[in-house]
Structure formats: structure tokens, C-alpha cells
Chains A and B, each alone.
Chain A
Amino acid sequence: MYFALLDLSDAITDFMNRGGPVLWVIGMLLLVKWSLIFERVWYLHSTHAKKVKQTLAVWAGRSDTRSWRAQQIRNMMVSEISLDLKSTMPIIETLVVVCPLLGLMGTVTGMIEVFYVMALTGGGDAKSMAGGVSKATIPTMAGMVGALSGIFASNWLKSRIDRDLELLEDHMA
């Protein structure tokens, strides 16, 4: 078990060294993005569920549910819940979009390194260029993987939130 963990950490640090500094930025972004996602999931299952129950109880307690005024109040309740529910979604979506762009940035810096080496050695020395090439390609991959994993999660969250709000509105008819 202990050796397996050592292996894992070795492999990852090795990978980080090959990929250059942009990987750390991507890693941080992934961390933030996934914590936001998990927080949203948690929120959906705890606080949000409670709030919906309360709102529905308040709505059911009203005697007047048909007038224009009541409809406006209903709209207000729904939007309050929806605001709370969607509070961090824009950040998540932005982070998903930013991931591949950061990867591209890593690619550019890596390529600059490659050209620099070429200028120094007069080209042709593949071995010395290899470091720059892997620094150019690995962040791209990291950005792609991050974005891909994020897209699934954020889309699932989005559809889940939309469905919940629709259901709420239906219940308050």
C-alpha cells in the first residue's frame, strides 16, 4: 500500500516536471472547479431540498393562488430559489472553457522553448528539443482532459438544476 502510494506520487511529480509550470495552474483550476461542482451537488441534496419544502409549504398555506398578485409572488419565490441554485454555475462553466485555453498557453510556451533551443544548437538536435516538445504537448492534453471531465459534470448539473426548477414551478401551479 505504502509503495503503491509512493509510486503514484512519483508518477505524478514526474509528469508535472515534464509538463512544465502551466500544469500546476491547470491542476489548481481543476481543484477549484471540482470543489465547486461537489459543493453544488451537496447543495442540491441538502439546503436546496429544504428550501423547496419550505416554499411549497408557504405556497400551500396561501388562500389566494390565482390572482395576478399571487402569480407575481410565486415568480419571486421561484427566482429566489433559482438564484441561490445557480449562484456558482457561471464560474464552473467559465472554468470548463478556460481549461483548454490554458493548455494552449502551455503549448505556446513549450514551443517557444523548442525554438530557443533550436536557435542555440542550430537545430537538428532532437534530444535537446524533446524537453520543450513534451512541455508543449502535455499541457494541451491536461487542458483537454480537464475540460472533458468538467463538461460532463457541468452539463449534468445544469440539466439537473433546470429540471428541479421546472418541477418547482409545476408544483406551485
Chain B
Amino acid sequence: MIAIRWLISLGLAGLVTLGLFYFMQALIATGGDLEQNTNVVRIVDATMPEIVMEVIREVERPEPIEELNEPPPTPPDRNIDMDGGADLNIARENVDLDIGLDIGAAGLSATDGEMLPLVNIQPQYPTRAAQRGIEGWCQVAFTVTETGGVRDVRVVDAEPRGMFDSASIRAAERFRFQPRVVNGQPVEVPNVQYVFRFELEE
């Protein structure tokens, strides 16, 4: 009975001590990770896979029209010489330059298809994950504002859960997009999805 009492007291005391120590380290915790001389862990660089940017098709420029260097042929003499024998009455065709250029509907805009970030920020690989060699991915969804900014970032799915969330959210918030234009007005695009892959270099 007495032994049990002491054991339970010891357990509670252990909890209290841990709590106190956690409290203390929280008191002096500084935001940034300070470089310490004690057991520094070499962390391999984390790389993000290259993102292949889709090239937006350039509108074909019309070829410049060749300048006619030859002087226009002198108009034929229209005076009909009743006396002349030869009849120089050659009917000339009207030359119609019809190249089929229609420069009206072509405009550069990335309004259709995928929203691709103009600026994509690489997320910071969480130290914790890097130390343990944990790899994974995190899918976020957010709203692209009229100005091309990002807001309301939330995590849709991740593997492993909770490991890369904050890093991904931080990175996604700093993305910049070309805002979607509808009828000449920029509009918000809700629910744009993006997947961050966290992979360690071998």
C-alpha cells in the first residue's frame, strides 16, 4: 500500500516536473531556431521537384508585307488611237491583298485552364521532419484574390498528417498568381488547389 502510494506520487511528480520544464523552455523560447554549438545535426537540403511551366502560346505575328520596290507600271495610254492599228486595250486585274489577318480576337490572358503561380515560394522543410528523415506531401486549397494574392489557405490532405501543414500554409500565403480576368474585370477564384511535395535529397 505504501509502495503504491509512493509510486503514484512519483508518477504525478514526474508529470509536474516535465510540465515545469516545458513551461521554462516556453518562457525562453525564441521564434527563430538559434544555431547551437551543441550537437548540431547536419540537415540535408530539401528540394522541391521542378514545376514545369506551361508556355502560353504566342499569337502568330503577321508576316510583314513585302514592299513593292518596283514602281507601279505606267498606266497604259488610254487614248485610243483610232488611227493606230494595234489595240492596246489590256484589261488589268485588280490586285486584292487578302492575307486573312484577323487581329481582333487574339489576346494574351491566362484566364482559362489551370492557375499557375507566377511566384512560387519553396516551403521551409520542417527541421523535425528533416532530422527524422520523414518525407511526405501536403495538399492545400486557397482563394486567389483579385490582386493575385492568396488568402484563406487550408490544408485539404496531407501525409503524414500535421507534419508539413504549417510550412505549406506559410509558403502558400506568399504565392502570387495572375488574377483571373472575366470580361475585363479581375475576379476572385476560390478553391485553388496546390500540392507541396517534401522530399529529402539522397
Interface residues of A (CB under 8 A from B): 3, 6-8, 10-12, 14-18, 27, 30-39, 42-43, 46, 128, 131, 138, 141-142, 145-146, 149
Contacts and interface: CB of A to CB of B under 8 A. Distances in A.
Interface string B11-28: 011101110111111111
Given A38-B9, A42-B5, 18 more contacts: A3-B128, A3-B162, A10-B128, A11-B22, A15-B21, A16-B21, A17-B36, A17-B38, A18-B36, A27-B17, A30-B16, A31-B13, A38-B8, A43-B5, A131-B37, A142-B21, A142-B24, A146-B20
Interface in B116-130: 128
A38 B22 contact: no
A37 B13 CA distance: 8
A144 to B, nearest CB: 9
18 contacts: A3-B163, A11-B22, A11-B25, A11-B26, A12-B25, A17-B38, A30-B13, A31-B14, A38-B9, A38-B12, A42-B8, A46-B5, A131-B38, A141-B27, A142-B21, A142-B24, A146-B20, A149-B20
Interface residues of B, number: 28
A147 to B, nearest CB: 11
A121 to B, nearest CB: 13
B128 to A, nearest CB: 7
Chief secondary structure at chain A's binding surface: helix
A120 to B, nearest CB: 14
A28 to B, nearest CB: 9
Interface of B: 5-6, 8-10, 12-14, 16-18, 20-29, 36-39, 128, 162-163
Most chain B Cβ neighbours within 10 Å, of A30, A31, A35, A36: A35
Given A10-B128, A12-B25, A145 B20 contact: yes
A124 B83 CA distance: 117
A32 B10 CA distance: 8
B128 A7 contact: yes
B24 A39 contact: no
Nearest to A20: B38
A12 B12 contact: no
B28 A138 contact: yes
